[in-house]
């Protein structure tokens, strides 16, 4: 079966959410300029929306990928937060802490010595555009094996060099296609796309995919600050 055929089989599973009005993408696109009524509806439907997305997530099921020939070089737009940080890859350290047995501080050399995983997937932005790109890096679940999260760990919190912050459920973070990526389309990750290290995954909307990640913290409780955009009203789970 070709990649396109697999992709066509995958989408009907998500069409239920889109047609029913409960997809995070549909809610958020409508929510960019919410009226008071819209905000009230969003508060009511978000818990159901999140429950549906969690129910649909299979922690081990792979999302169909695309062939390298499908990469859309010019469609991956660059969105910035407050500024674009300039990080010296030689000085960079990824800290992993929280509810773990072995807190870590990893250099890019450490990360590049680990098994390289590449995947060609569709990046979906809540603003209404999408792009197919290839990402290469280390599976977050392999970093978790090194850090050994405790049985209490339920959430994962990401801090970035530009001040951006995000949080995920642990099942999504440990999905086999969630990467800490340092390559894009077979080359070193560009600074504008989050170098030296960013999140990449086909199971989350773009605002969940933090760039310039410097710290990963495993938590037992959902953090009070859920994420930069979530704290301004966006849905927390952000699944697709």
237 occurs within a structural domain: no
| Exposed/middle/buried for residue 142 (C-beta within 10 Å: 0-12, 13-18, 19+) | middle
Whether pLDDT at 127 is above 50: yes
pLDDT (mean) for 133-139: 98
What tens digit of pLDDT does each residue of 157-183 get? 999 999 999 999 999 999 999 999 999
Please give the pLDDT value at position 173.
98
Whether pLDDT at 28 is above 50: no
Strand (E) or helix (H) holding 53? helix 36-56
Whether pLDDT at 15 is above 50: no
Q: pTM of the entire structure? A: 0.80
Please give the pLDDT value at position 83.
82
239 occurs within a structural domain: no
CA 230/CA 65 separation, integer angstroms: 28
pLDDT (mean) for 84-94: 96
8 occurs within a structural domain: yes
CATH of the domain at 169: 3.90.420.10
88 occurs within a structural domain: yes
| Contact between residue 180 and residue 140 where contact means Cβ atoms under 8 Å apart | yes
CA 176/CA 201 separation, integer angstroms: 9
- Among the listed residues 56, 48, 50, the one whose alpha carbon sits nearest the alpha carbon of residue 11: 56
Whether pLDDT at 56 is above 50: yes
Band (pLDDT 50/70/90 cuts) for residue 59 is: confident
What tens digit of pLDDT does each residue of 98-121 get? 999 999 999 999 999 999 999 999
- Partners of residue 118 on adjacent β-strands: 136
> Which structural domain, as residue segments, surrounds residue 74?
3-232
Whether pLDDT at 221 is above 50: yes
Grouping H, G, I as helix, E, B as strand and the rest as coil, residue 30 is helix
Q: Based on the structure, what is the number of domains in the chain?
A: 1
CA 14/CA 22 separation, integer angstroms: 10
């Amino acid at each position: 079966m070709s990649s396109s055929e697999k992709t066509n089989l995958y989408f009907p599973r998500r069409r239920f959410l889109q047609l029913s009005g409960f997809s995070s993408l549909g809610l958020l696109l409508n929510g960019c300029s919410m009226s008071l009524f819209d905000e009230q509806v969003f508060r009511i439907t978000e818990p159901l929306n999140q429950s549906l997305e969690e129910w649909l997530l299979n922690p081990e099921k792979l999302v169909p990928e695309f062939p390298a020939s499908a990469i859309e070089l010019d469609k991956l737009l660059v969105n910035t937060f407050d500024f674009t940080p300039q990080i010296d890859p030689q000085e960079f350290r990824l800290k992993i802490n929280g509810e773990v047995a072995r807190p870590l501080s990893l250099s890019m050399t450490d990360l590049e010595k680990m098994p390289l995983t590449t995947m060609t997937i569709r990046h979906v932005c809540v603003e209404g555009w999408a792009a197919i790109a290839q990402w290469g890096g280390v599976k977050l679940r392999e970093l978790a094996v090194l850090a050994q999260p405790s049985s209490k760990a339920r959430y994962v919190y990401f801090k970035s060099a530009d001040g951006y912050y995000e949080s995920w459920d642990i099942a999504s973070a440990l999905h086999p296609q969630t990467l800490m990526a340092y390559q894009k389309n077979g080359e070193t990750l560009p600074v504008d796309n989050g170098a030296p290290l960013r999140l990449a995954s086909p199971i989350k909307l773009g605002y969940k995919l933090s760039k310039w990640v410097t710290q990963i913290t495993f938590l037992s409780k959902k953090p009070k600050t859920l994420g930069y955009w979530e704290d301004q009203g966006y849905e927390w789970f952000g699944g697709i």
